[in-house]
Amino acid sequence: MEKRSRLALLIGPPGLYLLILFLLPLGIMAVFSFRAGTIGDAQYVFTLENYQEFLAKESFHRLLWISARLAFVISLISVILAYPLAYYLTFRAGPRRILLLTLLIVPTWTSYLLRIFAWRLILGSSGLLNTFLLWLGIIDKANPILLYSRNAVVITLIYVWVPFVALPIFAALERIDPSLLEAAADLGCRPWEAFLRVTLPLSLPGVTAGFFFALIPTLGEYVTPLLVGGGQGAMYGNLIQDQFVRALNWPMGSVMSLAMLVLVIPLLFLFTRVGASDLMEF
């Protein structure tokens, strides 16, 4: 009984927090998805028309697929860029490791919007990129080459996620016993063979965690595409925001949000099956 009381005391507050701030709003949104009309209508009529309309609009499905593909590319590139960074911090930085790790995460202490606006200035007509290209003579006049496009969204989000992706990879690499690499060298493995046979397999839980840490939030991203993507770089999250804010069509926005949730749940299940058991040891 004492153990059960302690367990209830520990799990109770987080469970209540999850119920009030996640499950309850999710249930309300599910109820709204069956409501007919916009939020300003006085009558509460429940219907399946919102789901039928969503299934009939291929533009919604296309944008959801594009957003999922962009999220996958952004997460993959973030892992590719973050892995060498984490590897250097673990095996090559030496006593400067903590200092360099701190410098890596310092930008994340700054406001997210400020960092996005900084990239908007960099990619703009009078930004650093155009100034550099003008100095090289590649272009004749200033022009926002990448701004307000999906390429701008990809570049900005990769910059945002690389530090977060590097941290779990760094944690996984730190857990590797150096004696394993020494044993591999004694058995005749060259450095690249030791990396492929020892270091990379043992760091896969961190790679998996970093990949999903970037993938799942990017699927619902709407602030970055709004600020640096414009009309050409809009993602599925922007479409949901328009339904809730501009069109005041909360039922359709709820349906679209639930559709994204249906896409995210298998990813969460895959993450828990692939990496969570190993990550619990960190």
Asked whether residue 276 carries a pLDDT value surpassing 60, the answer given is: no
Asked whether residue 280 carries a pLDDT value surpassing 50, the answer given is: no
Sequence letter at residue 263: L
* Structure confidence by residue, pLDDT tens digits, 85-119: 999 999 988 888 889 988 888 888 888 888 898 88
Cβ–Cβ < 8 Å for 258, 29? yes
178 or 88, which is more confident? 88
CA angle (209, 260, 237) in 5-degree steps = 95
pLDDT at 279: 46
DSSP for 97-154, written as a single string: HHHHHHHHHGGGGS-HHHHHHHHHHHHSTTSHHHHHHHHHTS-SS---SSSSSHHHHH
Contact 206, 169 (CB under 8 A): yes
- In angstroms and rounded to an integer, the radius of gyration of the C-alpha atoms of the chain is 23
**pTM as predicted:** 0.85
Where along the chain do its domains lie? 52-279
The answer on pLDDT for 38 being more than 80 is: no
- The domain 52-279 having CATH identifier 1.10.3720.10: the answer here is yes
- Between CA 282 and CA 274 the distance in angstroms is 15
pLDDT tens, residue by residue, 47-90: 888 899 999 999 999 999 999 999 999 999 999 999 999 999 99
Q: Mind listing the pLDDT tens digit for each residue in 236-257?
A: 999 999 998 888 888 899 999 9
* Residue 254: CB atoms within 10 Å: 23
- For residue 35, report the phi and psi dihedrals to the nearest 5 degrees: -90, 140
Closest residue by Cα to residue 68 from 236, 192, 182: 236
DSSP β-bridge partners for residue 35: 46
Handedness of CA 94, 88, 86, 203 (dihedral sign): negative
What are the tokens at 184? 């591999």
Nearest to 50 by CA among 279, 275, 243: 243
